[in-house]
Amino acid sequence: MKHTEKEIQLLKDEVKLMWKLVISQLENAKKAMLNNDIALATKIIRNENDVNTFELKVDNLCENFIALNNPVAIDLRLALSLIKISSSLERIGDFTDGIARFITDKECETLDPDLIERLNIEKMFDTLLGMLLDGFVAFETEQTKVSEKIISKDDQVDEIYNNVFETLATHIKNNPAQTICMLKLLLLIRKLERIGDHNNNIVEEIVFFVDARVLKHSGSNNF
Amino acid sequence: MIEAKNVNFYYHTFHALKDINMQIEDNSVTALIGPSGCGKSTFLRLFNRMNDEIDGAKLTGECLINNENIYHKSVQVDLLRKNVGMVFQKPNPFPKSILENVAYGLRVNGINNKQLIEEKVKESLTAAALWNEVKDKLHKSAFELSGGQQQRLCIARALAVSPSILLMDEPASALDPISTAKIEELIFELKQRYTIIIVTHNMQQAARVSDKTGFFMYGELVEHSETKKMFLAPDKTETQNYITGRFG
3-class secondary structure, A112: coil
Q: What's the CA gap between A128 and A137, in Å, rounded?
A: 14
- Taking alpha carbons only, the member of A125, A128, A127, A150 closest to residue A206 is A150
Average pLDDT of chain B, as a whole number: 94
The answer to whether position B57 is within a domain reads: yes
Q: HSE (CB half, 13 Å, CA atoms) of B3?
A: 11
pLDDT digits (tens, 9 = 90+) for B56-115: 999 999 999 999 999 999 999 999 999 999 999 899 999 999 999 999 999 988 999 999
Count of structural domains, chain A: 1
CATH number at residue B28: 3.40.50.300
CATH number at residue A187: 1.20.58.220
User: The dihedral of CA A7, A8, A13, A15: what is its sign?
Assistant: positive
Confidence of residue B248 (pLDDT cuts 50, 70, 90): low
Q: Residue A76's Cα: distance from chain center in Å? A: 24
The answer to whether position B119 is within a domain reads: no
The answer to whether position A108 is within a domain reads: yes
Does the pTM surpass 0.90? The reply is: no
- How many degrees, rounded to 5, is the angle at CA B220 between CA B216 and CA B223? 55
- Taking alpha carbons only, the member of B40, B21, B8, B38 closest to residue B217 is B38
Q: Is the ipTM of this complex over 0.85?
A: no
Q: Give the sheet arrangement for strand B14-24, strand by strand.
A: B14-24, B2-11, B57-65, B68-69
The answer to whether position B102 is within a domain reads: no
Question: From start to end of chain B, where are the E strands?
Answer: 2-11, 14-24, 29-33, 57-65, 68-69, 84-87, 165-169, 195-199, 212-217, 220-226
Q: Which residues of B touch A65 (CB under 8 A)?
A: none
Q: What's the CA gap between B203 and B245, in Å, rounded?
A: 10
Contact B244 A72 (CB under 8 A): yes
CB contacts under 8 A, B 181-220 vs A, are: 203-204, 207
Confidence of residue A127 (pLDDT cuts 50, 70, 90): very high
pLDDT digits (tens, 9 = 90+) for B146-199: 999 999 999 999 999 999 999 999 999 888 899 889 889 999 989 999 999 999
- Strand B195-199 and strand B165-169: the pairing is parallel
- Taking alpha carbons only, the member of B141, B144, B166 closest to residue B156 is B166
The answer to whether position A55 is within a domain reads: yes
The answer to whether position B125 is within a domain reads: no
Whether residue B32 contacts residue B216, with contact meaning beta carbons closer than 8 Å, is answered with yes
* pLDDT for the residue numbered B174: 84
Mean pLDDT, to the nearest integer, of A33-37?
Answer: 93
DSSP per position, B146-212: -HHHHHHHHHHHHHTT--SEEEEESTTTTS-HHHHHHHHHHHHHHTTTSEEEEE-S-HHHHHHH-SE
* pLDDT for the residue numbered B151: 93
The answer to whether position B35 is within a domain reads: yes
* pLDDT for the residue numbered A201: 97
Min distance A213 CA to chain B CA atoms (Å): 9
Domain carrying residue B44: 2-93+163-243
Confidence of residue A112 (pLDDT cuts 50, 70, 90): confident
Q: What's the CA gap between B91 and B93, in Å, rounded?
A: 6
The answer to whether position B221 is within a domain reads: yes
* Helix B177-190 vs helix B147-159: crossing angle, to nearest 10: 20
Count of structural domains, chain B: 1
Contact A72 B231 (CB under 8 A): yes
Domain carrying residue A94: 3-211
Percent of chain B with pLDDT over 90: 88
* pLDDT for the residue numbered A223: 57
Average pLDDT of chain A, as a whole number: 94
Nearest CA in chain A to B247: A2
Q: List b or e across B40-58, with b for residues whose CB sees 16 or more CB atoms inside 10 angstroms.
A: bbbbbbbbbbbbeeeeeee
The answer to whether position A61 is within a domain reads: yes
The answer to whether position A40 is within a domain reads: yes
The answer to whether position A138 is within a domain reads: yes
- Phi first, then psi, for residue B65 (nearest 5°) are -125, 120
The answer to whether position B118 is within a domain reads: no
Min distance B22 CA to chain A CA atoms (Å): 23
Whether residue A135 contacts residue A87, with contact meaning beta carbons closer than 8 Å, is answered with no
Min distance B245 CA to chain A CA atoms (Å): 8
Q: Which residues of B touch A212 (CB under 8 A)?
A: 232-233
3-class secondary structure, A217: coil
Flag whether residue B33 sits within 8 Å of chain A, measured between CB atoms. Answer: no
Tell whether the model's pLDDT for residue A162 goes beyond 60. yes
The answer to whether position A202 is within a domain reads: yes
- Taking alpha carbons only, the member of B200, B241, B226 closest to residue B41 is B200
The answer to whether position A135 is within a domain reads: yes
Tell whether the model's pLDDT for residue B135 goes beyond 70. yes
- C-alpha to C-alpha distances, A91 to A42, A52, B29, B173, B241, nearest whole angstrom: 18, 9, 44, 46, 34
Q: What's the CA gap between B73 and B77, in Å, rounded?
A: 10
Gap between the terminal Cα atoms of chain B:
35
